[in-house]
Amino acid sequence: MNKTAALLLLCTALFAQQKGTFTDTRDGKIYKTVKIGEQVWMAENLNYEASGSKCYEDRYYPNKAANCEKYGKLYSWETAMKACPSGWHLPSNEEWGVLTAAAGGDTIAGKYLKAVSGWKHNRNEDKFGFSALPGGSVVNSVGRFGTAGENGVWWSSSESEYDSDDAYRLYMSNRSSRIYYNGDVTKDIFYSSVRCLQGLAPKTKEKPKAPNVQQKGILGTFTDTRDGKIYKTTKIGEQVWFAENLSYNASSSKCYDNKPENCEKYGRLYNWETAMKACPGGWHLPSRAEWEVLTAAVGGKKIEGKYLKAVSGWNDYKEKSGNGEDKYSFSALPGGYCSGDGNFYEVGEQGNWWISSGDGSIAKVRFIDYFSENASYNNYDKGNFLSVRCLQNTPAPPKGSAK
């Protein structure tokens, strides 16, 4: 960091030390507050009892009341939108962005905003008195709590630009100084923490829903001339996809557990740089926008997992089958992933497919789980090894046609 940036950060930090308290007249709870730049934030997570809220509870954190006292409650998005007391509101992406910029930018803001204790890997400074804690989250559809002590996840009022069923969350990890945004979180399935920002909420524009164009999968085949492998293909809407994972033996690719039989079943696992160029000629690694076209064609992300998952090969969850209906002959399988340090995880339970959209060392991933009927997006370090689904290139328009 240069001297000018360091001085600016120091001045902002000094300005931030305008701390106070706020009493929520609804229940008498007193919250610490902090002014950072021109914004006034609650300096702890909201802990207001509302329908659509929960206290964290799992085998490591069994005391629900104590968890609420420490981390605040977890809320569905609809509840979060109206949970803050009068004079405060759930912040938008833009407002979270103002805070992030004031705290030094998204690559370091996590370190400066996280509390100095309460995280499993404490290398934090809490330079601005924001005191972010890792309250975890819950997948409400299956009652699955996770990552308290490791991850902090806070709702944004901003809805996804791709799907009106989704909204954004801000995410901090115990292992990173970065701040991440995830915009494909289903509003009524996930419960997350709330930080209230003083003032009136900004007005938001309504976003149109993507058209729902359904068409049965039309099967074909494609031969990869590089190695002679024959792949099933399927046409869904106007797109033609591989109907199985890529299994081209490229440098920087692996079989799960380094066993060739797993490559035969699940295809190979690739790091992102390799995935970007692994598909054969005439095919490519799909973008997020192209995945969204597929999502719309199969009826939306809430049902995408069920309709795209293969009819066998997925683990059961609590005596309920994790298999799908494979309604469009996509035949998604849970190939798991390999971390950058060579450890393998989640075969039989997760399907993870690289997307061509990336930012620095992080790229987007399409994710389907064995216990859910929906599909979502994750952020993975590009050094991890994940599955690849190839999408056929759109034919160029004939010469002389309008562009």
Helices 288-297/301-308 angle, 10° precision: 80
Taking only the tens place, the pLDDT of each residue in 248-305 is 999 999 999 999 999 999 999 999 999 999 999 999 999 998 999 999 999 988 899 9
Taking only the tens place, the pLDDT of each residue in 53-91 is 999 998 888 889 999 999 999 999 999 999 999 999 999
CA distance 349 to 58: 20
Q: Say whether pLDDT at 98 is over 90.
A: yes
Q: How confident is the model at residue 142 (pLDDT cuts 50, 70, 90)?
A: low
Q: What is the mean pLDDT of the chain?
A: 88
Q: How far is CA 247 from CA 31, 111, 268, 348, 351, in A?
A: 54, 39, 5, 18, 15
For 285, which DSSP code?
Answer: P
Strands (E), 49-165: 53-54, 74-75, 88-89, 137-139, 144-146, 151-159
Say which amino acid occupies 19: K
Taking only the tens place, the pLDDT of each residue in 338-352 is 999 899 999 999 999
Candidates 260, 259, 290; CA nearest to 354 is: 290
Higher-scoring residue by pLDDT: 2, 65: 65
Q: Say whether pLDDT at 397 is over 50.
A: no
CA distance 34 to 129: 7
CA distance 347 to 266: 9
Q: Residue 361: helix, strand or coil by DSSP?
A: coil
**Ramachandran angles phi, psi of 296, nearest 5°:** -65, -40
Taking only the tens place, the pLDDT of each residue in 23-41 is 999 999 999 999 999 999 9
Say which amino acid occupies 20: G
**CB-facing half-sphere around the CA of 103: CA atoms within 13 A:** 31
Q: What is the mean pLDDT of residues 43-60?
A: 93
Candidates 380, 394, 393; CA nearest to 350 is: 380
What pLDDT is stored for residue 14 in this prediction? 46
H or E stretch at 251 = none
Largest CA distance in the chain: 71
What pLDDT is stored for residue 398 in this prediction? 44
Around Cβ 216, how many Cβ atoms within 10 Å? 11
Q: What is the mean pLDDT of residues 365-394?
A: 93
Q: Residue 99: helix, strand or coil by DSSP?
A: helix
**CB-facing half-sphere around the CA of 216: CA atoms within 13 A:** 2
DSSP states along 74-113: EE-HHHHHHHSPTTEEPPPHHHHHHHHHHTT-TTTHHHHH
**Exposed, middle or buried: residue 210 (CB in 10 Å: 0-12, 13-18, 19+)?**
middle
Q: Say whether pLDDT at 147 is over 70.
A: yes
Q: Say whether pLDDT at 369 is over 80.
A: yes
DSSP states along 9-76: HHHHHHHHBEEEEEE-TTT--EEEEEEETTEEEESS------TTEE----SSS--HHHHHHHH--EE-
Candidates 149, 113, 106; CA nearest to 130 is: 113
Taking only the tens place, the pLDDT of each residue in 200-250 is 987 755 544 444 333 455 689 999 999 999 999 999 999 999 999 999 999
Q: What is the mean pLDDT of residues 353-378?
A: 90
In the chain, % of residues over pLDDT 70: 89
- Are the CB atoms for 134 and 119 separated by under 8 Å? yes
Q: How confident is the model at residue 182 (pLDDT cuts 50, 70, 90)?
A: confident
pTM above 0.85, yes or no: no
What pLDDT is stored for residue 217 in this prediction? 59
What pLDDT is stored for residue 93 in this prediction? 93
Q: How confident is the model at residue 157 (pLDDT cuts 50, 70, 90)?
A: very high
What pLDDT is stored for residue 233 in this prediction? 96
Give me 155's structure tokens: 């709702």
What pLDDT is stored for residue 209 in this prediction? 44
Q: Which residues pair with 41 in a beta bridge?
A: 34, 197
**Which residues does 354 contact at the CB level (< 8 Å), separation at least 6?**
270, 272, 275, 276, 285, 363, 365, 386, 387, 388
Locus of tokens 């692994």: 278
CA distance 200 to 282: 51
